[in-house]
Chains A and B, each alone.
Chain A
Amino acid sequence: MMAPLNQECLEKQYSPETKNDLMFKAIESSGITKTFGPTMALDNISFSINESEVFGFIGPDGAGKTTLFRIITTLLLPDEGNMKVLGMDCTSEYKELRKNIGYMPGRFSLYQDLSVEENLNFYATVFGTTVKENYELISDIYAHIEPFKKRLAGKLSGGMKQKLALSCALIHKPRLLVLDEPTTGVDAVSRSEFWDMLGKLREYNITIIVSTPYMDEAIRCDRVALIQNGKILSIDTPQKIRAGFSRKLFTVKSVEKYKLIKTLRKNPEILTAYPFGDSVHVTFINDTSENFLFEYLVKEGISDAVIQEAEAGIEDRFLELMNKGE
C-alpha cells in the first residue's frame, strides 16, 4: 500500500499536472457495473479521486449515487470492474477498509432511542477510540448540538440529526468520509451550514465524497461528477464543467412566466427553453443575437421581456448533457 505523499513536498517540487498524477488516489475505479434485476444501476463507471479532495457526485434519484457509495464502502459487490479505495481492493480487503471509513448513509441511521451523547460514545468505542481523542475534529459541528446532548436522537430536528450523524462518522478520524445525500430534505440554511462545516475539515487531510441532488452545491466541491441513469456525464472542477457549455446562454424574464415559456417553445429557432427560478434559460439552434427574440416576444404579446446573455451554471450543463444522452 502506497504511503500518502507529503503535501508540502508536492507544493515545492512539482508542476500542477504531475502533481495530479502523482497524488495518492483515495479512490480508483474502472469499469464498475452493477445491475439489479432488469435495471442497470451503474454502467461502466470509471473515475479517480485524490486524497484530501472534496468530491461531489451530483445527480437526481435513481442516478446510481447510493449504489456507488455502497460499493465504495464495501456494502455491495460490483458485478464487473475494479475499485481500489485507499489503496485497498473493495472486494477482498473489505475488513481493513471498514476500519478506515466514516459513513453517513442516505437516511438518518443513528439510534433513535439513544441520546446524542450515547450515540457518539458508542461509535467512538466501536472504532477503538474515545470522544476526547478526536474531539477537535468535531468540535465546531458538535457545538451546535451539545446543548442537546442528553436528548434522544429521534427527537432532534432534521438539521441537528444531520450534524450528529456527521459527528459520529468523524469521531474515529477516518481517512475517507462518505456522505450519501446528507443535505436532502433539509432547509436551505442548514444545508449551507453543513457545507461550511465540510470546508473546515480540509485541514485534516480527510478525503470527502458527497452525493447530492442539489446542483447548486456543486461549486462547494473541488471536483464533481455529474451522474444520471448510472452513467457519468462529466467529471471536472465545477468551473470547467460550466465552461464546457457548448452554446451561448440567454436569460429571459417576464412577469407572465407561464405565457413566456409557452411562447418561447413555439419558436423554431429556439433549441431549449427551461424555467430557472425567476427567468427562463434559452439557447438557440444558431447562436443569434437577442434582438430578434425581443421583437418576436412583443409580437406574441409579451412586451416586458428582459433578455440578457449569461454564463451557464452547473445545472444548465447538466441539462445539456442529459439531452445529449437521449
Chain B
Amino acid sequence: MRNQVITVKNLVKKFGSFVANDNLNFDVSAGEIFGFLGANGAGKTTTIRILSGLSKPTSGDVNVAGFDAYRQTEQIKRNIGYMCQKFSLYEDLTVKENIILYGGIYGMNKSLIKERLAELLAKLRFQKYENKMISDLPLGLRQKLAFSVAVLHEPKIVFLDEPTGGVDPITRRQFWEMIYETAASGITVFVTTHYMDEAEYCDRISIMSEGKIVALDSPERLKKQYNAASVEEVFIKIARPN
C-alpha cells in the first residue's frame, strides 16, 4: 500500500450557485502518474487549482502532500511543482536566468541551484541554449525545459496542465519519458491532457463530466469495463451512452 500524497473526500466547490466540483472522492499515491481527463468546463481546472493551493474548497476534506487545503495553502505551494500550457517561462529571460529565478522562488540555495542547472542542461543536452532567450527556442524545447523547471526543487507532486499541446510527436514522446523518469524517482505526476493515447501512459485515470467523476481506474480495467479498445472509446461511450 503506497503512501498517499493526495486525499480528497467529498470535495465540493461552488461559485455562487454553480457547482463546479460535485462531491469528488479520490486518492493519489506517491510516484503515481495520475491522468485527469474530461471535457473543457467539466471542472478539471477548478480541482487542480484547489489541489495546488490556489483556491480553497467550499466543503470536504482535501489533503495535499500532508497539508490541509484550507489552512495550509502556503505549505502546499512550497511542496508542489506546476506547469501550465499558457505560460511557463519568462520569454524575455534566458534559460539560465529562468532557472536561477525559479530556484530562488522555490527557496533553493545558490550552490544547489548551480548544481541542478548543470544537471538539467546536461540531461536535456541544452548546454548551447544556456544563454538563449526563451522566445528563441522552439515549442518542444520550451515545454521540456518548463517541465524540468517545475521539478527543479524536487517537489512531492507536480501538476501538469496539458503539457504537450501542439508539440510534435517525437518531442511528445520524449516528454512522456521524462514524466516516467520523474515518477520513477518518487514524484507524483498529476496530468491533464486531450491526447487520448497519452491517457494510456498513466497508472490511473479519472474522467470528469459536469463536476462529477464518472470513471476512475487504470486504463486497462476501464477498457475491460466498457468493452473498449482504447481510452478514446471509453470516453465516447461514457459521454454518449447509446
Contacts and interface: CB of A to CB of B under 8 A. Distances in A.
A277 B196 CA distance: 8
6 contacts: A61-B167, A159-B40, A184-B165, A185-B40, A277-B231, A278-B200
Contacts of A275: 173, 176-177, 201
Contact of A187 (B166, B184, B194): B194
A10 B231 CA distance: 43
A243 interface: no
Given A185-B40, A190-B39, A318-B169, A276 B197 contact: yes
A185 B39 contact: no
B42 to A, nearest CB: 8
Interface residues of B, number: 39
Interface string A141-161: 000000000000000011100
A215 B167 CA distance: 12
A258 interface: yes
Interface of B: 38-41, 138-140, 162, 165-171, 173, 176-177, 180-181, 183-184, 194-201, 219-220, 230-232, 235-236, 239-240
B232 A188 contact: yes
Contacts of B173: 274-275
Interface string A309-326: 000000100110011000
Contact of B169 (A62, A158, A257, A315): A315
A312 B221 CA distance: 26
A63 B168 CA distance: 9
A214 B38 CA distance: 17
Interface string A240-277: 00000000000000000110010000000000001111
8 residue pairs, one from A and one from B, having the closest CB atoms: A61-B166, A60-B168, A277-B200, A187-B39, A277-B197, A258-B180, A158-B40, A278-B200
Of residues A60, A61, A157, A158, which shows the largest number of chain B Cβ atoms within 10 Å of its Cβ? A60
